[in-house]
């Protein structure tokens, strides 16, 4: 790794270890000393030196393993970016009143081995500094299909708050019709500067784009997203939708969210709708739109836009 070897006692060690604080090594040495259970915790200088050498060597091994994992991840992400193996599937969003498809959500899909969920692909890309590149590739693949989408339907795309404030996204949106786009921010997305994000959202709205908050009801973050950003669509988390007809307490919560959304001039989309019973219950609670396997699994654009 480029460092010169030094010696502690009889053991060669590395003089410096990038990313490792001296205090961290000291704590690990103390733990090792305690683990040896030496009477009164008194050890000789030679024992101490051997413990220091052992801890440093272990730290070097862990760093090398981490670097190797990161290289493998980076190579895998770069391969996807270069060979175009990233694909986009579309899931219909349906009007619960008449069953018509009003829009589709674009979902990234990866065919490259080893098989990983899209969430894992994006998480790994972020660990090696390629998160924005992979997200942009997915967005480009999605908006490239916009011209094939029936004119009465919208395209919903997932966007991280960080990318939302970058000029790169504006360049991409300038190439399409923003009024047909819905930008989804997930509950799990951390927003560091709400003021800045709100400014961007307001500017995008002037172009005709709309904002959706995903996973509403999954946690406090989604509630804060809703209150600060005032979305045009609120997407109910699947945990609220699943077996909703069997849970009166959740029905009250969903009805409250639907009423709140109506007061804010926002629409509600229930995610994860899988049964006729859930569908009927949602309609009775004031939820207008739905998305889930009952209407269609993620598929090609042509299949997703057929009437539900």
pLDDT digits (tens, 9 = 90+) for 252-275: 999 999 999 999 999 999 999 999
- 23-53 CB burial, b ≥16 within 10 A, e <16: eeeeebbeebbeeeeeeeeebeeeeebbbbb
Quote the pLDDT of residue 188. 67
- The pLDDT of residue 67 is above 80: no
Quote the pLDDT of residue 223. 83
Task: Please tell me the pTM assigned to this model.
Answer: 0.78
Q: What percent of the chain has pLDDT over 70?
A: 84
State pLDDT tens for residues 98-109: 999 999 999 999
Q: Give the residue from 244, 142, 130 showing the smallest Cα distance to 183.
A: 142
Strand 210-216, strand 5-8: pairing: unpaired
- The pLDDT of residue 289 is above 60: yes
Task: Look at residue 296 and give its three-state secondary structure.
Answer: coil
State pLDDT tens for residues 233-250: 999 999 999 999 999 999
Quote the pLDDT of residue 107. 97
Sequence length of the chain is 308
Average pLDDT over residues 62-75: 83
Quote the pLDDT of residue 44. 76
Quote the pLDDT of residue 111. 81
Structural domains of the chain ordered from first start: 5-75 (no CATH), 85-304 (3.20.20.450)
DSSP per-residue string spanning 155-195:
EEEE--HHHHTSHHHHHHHTTS-GGGEEEEE-TT---S-HH
- The pLDDT of residue 97 is above 60: yes
Cα(127)–Cα(16) distance, rounded to whole angstroms? 23
Quote the pLDDT of residue 218. 80
Q: Residue 122 to residues 159, 219, 233, 298: CA-CA distances in angstroms?
A: 12, 21, 24, 18
Tokens of 195: 């003021």
Q: 90, 103 in Cβ contact below 8 A? A: no
Average pLDDT over residues 290-304: 96
- The pLDDT of residue 5 is above 90: no
Instruction: Please count the other Cβ atoms lying within 10 Å of the Cβ belonging to residue 304.
Output: 24
Q: Residue 27 to residues 11, 57, 102: CA-CA distances in angstroms?
A: 20, 15, 59
Phi, psi angles (nearest 5°) of residue 79: -60, -45
Cα(294)–Cα(24) distance, rounded to whole angstroms? 53
Tokens 């060690």, residue? 13
Q: Give the residue from 164, 165, 198 showing the smallest Cα distance to 184.
A: 164
State pLDDT tens for residues 136-159: 999 999 999 999 999 999 999 999
Cα(250)–Cα(303) distance, rounded to whole angstroms? 32
Cα(128)–Cα(249) distance, rounded to whole angstroms? 43
Q: Which residues pair with 213 in a beta bridge?
A: 185, 234
- The pLDDT of residue 96 is above 80: yes
Range of 107-121, 187-201, 206-220 with top mean pLDDT: 206-220
Tokens 């395209």, residue? 155
Strand 181-185, strand 154-158: pairing: parallel
Strand 210-216, strand 11-14: pairing: unpaired
- Which residues, including other chains, have CB under 8 Å from residue 46's CB and lie 6 or more apart? 9
Cα(12)–Cα(3) distance, rounded to whole angstroms? 12
Quote the pLDDT of residue 186. 73
Q: Which residues pair with 54 in a beta bridge?
A: none
Quote the pLDDT of residue 254. 97
- Which residues, including other chains, have CB under 8 Å from residue 168's CB and lie 6 or more apart? 132, 136
Quote the pLDDT of residue 56. 76
Q: Which residues pair with 14 in a beta bridge?
A: 5
Looking at every residue in the chain, the average pLDDT score rounds to 85
State pLDDT tens for residues 22-49: 556 556 656 665 565 555 556 677 777 7
């Amino acid at each position: 790794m480029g460092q010169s070897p030094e010696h502690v006692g009889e053991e060669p060690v590395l003089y410096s270890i990038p990313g490792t604080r001296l205090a961290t090594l000291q704590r690990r040495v103390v733990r090792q000393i305690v683990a040896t259970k030496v009477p009164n915790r008194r050890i000789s200088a030679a024992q101490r030196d051997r413990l220091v050498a052992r801890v440093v060597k272990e730290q070097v091994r862990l760093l090398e393993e981490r670097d190797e994992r990161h290289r493998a991840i980076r190579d895998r992400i770069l391969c996807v970016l270069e060979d175009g193996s990233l694909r986009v599937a579309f899931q219909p969003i349906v009007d619960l009143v008449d069953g018509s498809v009003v829009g589709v959500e674009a979902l990234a899909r990866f065919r490259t081995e080893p098989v990983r969920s899209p969430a894992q692909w994006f998480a790994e890309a972020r660990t090696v500094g390629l998160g924005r590149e992979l997200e942009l590739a997915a967005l480009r693949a999605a908006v490239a299909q916009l011209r094939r989408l029936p004119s009465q339907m919208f395209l919903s795309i997932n966007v991280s708050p960080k990318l939302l404030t970058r000029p790169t996204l504006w360049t991409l949106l300038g190439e399409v019709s923003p009024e047909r786009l819905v930008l989804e921010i997930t509950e799990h997305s951390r927003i560091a500067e709400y003021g800045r994000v709100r400014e961007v959202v307001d500017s995008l709205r002037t172009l005709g784009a709309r904002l959706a908050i995903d996973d509403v009801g999954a946690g406090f973050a989604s509630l804060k997203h809703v209150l600060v950003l005032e979305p045009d669509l609120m997407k109910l988390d699947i945990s609220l939708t699943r077996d909703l007809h069997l849970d009166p307490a959740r029905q009250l919560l969903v009805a409250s969210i639907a009423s709140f959304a109506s007061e804010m001039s926002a629409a509600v989309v229930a995610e994860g709708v899988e049964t006729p019973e859930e569908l009927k219950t949602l309609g009775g609670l004031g939820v207008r739109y739905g998305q889930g396997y009952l209407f269609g699994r993620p598929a090609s654009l042509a299949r997703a836009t057929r009437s539900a």
